[in-house]
A and B are shown apart, each in its own frame.
Chain A
Amino acid sequence: MLSIRRELVDAIVAHARKDHPDEACGVIAGPEGSDRPERFIPMLNAARSPTFYEFDSMDLLRLYKEMDENDEEPVVVYHSHTATEAYPSRTDVSLANEPGAHYVLVSTRDEDAYEFRSFRIVDGEVTEEEVQVIDGE
């Protein structure tokens, strides 16, 4: 199960809407081993594509060094699908390299409503999980 604060859900959705029709991507870092998403880090989609995303390689290095220095890990790795459902594609599965992360997918195909779903992707296997949104604080 992914437990995530409302403001972080809103931030992911806002990023996805802003970059639509291109895919948006980013990370929410949290203290190592805590499973608590805390620090919202929107990333640039270096592919600038409606059907593909990739973190810029130098941004990626900076991000991982920063998390390392802060004893953080990528608790959530998110991206949007802009014309299809919020479910990992074959590409998403084959390129998923963080077995400890919650892979969050947002779909912006509908202007008035969004889909926000979370998955574990381990060794090519996708498991959807419940999302618990925490209000307040």
Chain B
Amino acid sequence: MAVEVRIPTILRQYTGGAKTVEGAGDTLAALIDDLESRHPGLRDRLTENGSLRRFVNVYVNDEDVRFLGAEKTTLSDGDSVTVLPAVAGGAR
């Protein structure tokens, strides 16, 4: 089962410059493990101790996975996954 994953500019250093890559997995966590096998370094940029990083947004079919089940979100064949780093900061 294949899932299309859109990679943001800052993480394309791990995908040889590719904007989209294919991956597989029944859950987001499994997909990230699968991506890591071909794009080493990517997992650490997305997760910390197995949980999604606070300032990385991941969407499955345009829904924020924080409202779906985070890294346990289930995936189906043909799903589209988008990764976007948060745009955030501030004087604090």
Q: Which residues on A are within 8 Å of B, measured CB to CB? A: 23, 25, 27, 43, 47, 49-55, 57-58, 60-61, 64, 73, 77, 79, 81-84, 88-89, 91-92, 95-100
Contacts and interface: CB of A to CB of B under 8 A. Distances in A.
Given A61-B84, A99-B9, A79 B89 contact: yes
Contacts of B84: 60-61, 64
Contacts, number: 85
Contacts of A60: 57, 84, 86-87
Contacts of B90: 23, 47, 49, 51-53, 79, 81, 89, 91-92
Given A47-B90, A51-B92, A100 B9 contact: yes
B87 A83 contact: no
Given A60-B57, A61-B57, A97 B87 contact: yes
Nearest to B8: A97
Contacts of B10: 97-99
Contacts of B88: 47, 52-55, 91, 95
B91 A81 contact: yes
A99 B86 CA distance: 14
A88 B89 contact: yes
Contacts of B66: 57
A24 B89 CA distance: 11
B89 A55 contact: no
B91 A55 contact: no
Q: Which of B66, B86, B88 has the most CB of A within 10 A?
A: B88
A81 B88 CA distance: 13
Nearest to A107: B91
Interface string B4-42: 000011100000000000000000000000000000000
A84 B89 CA distance: 14
Contacts of B87: 25, 27, 43, 54-55, 60, 77, 95, 97-98
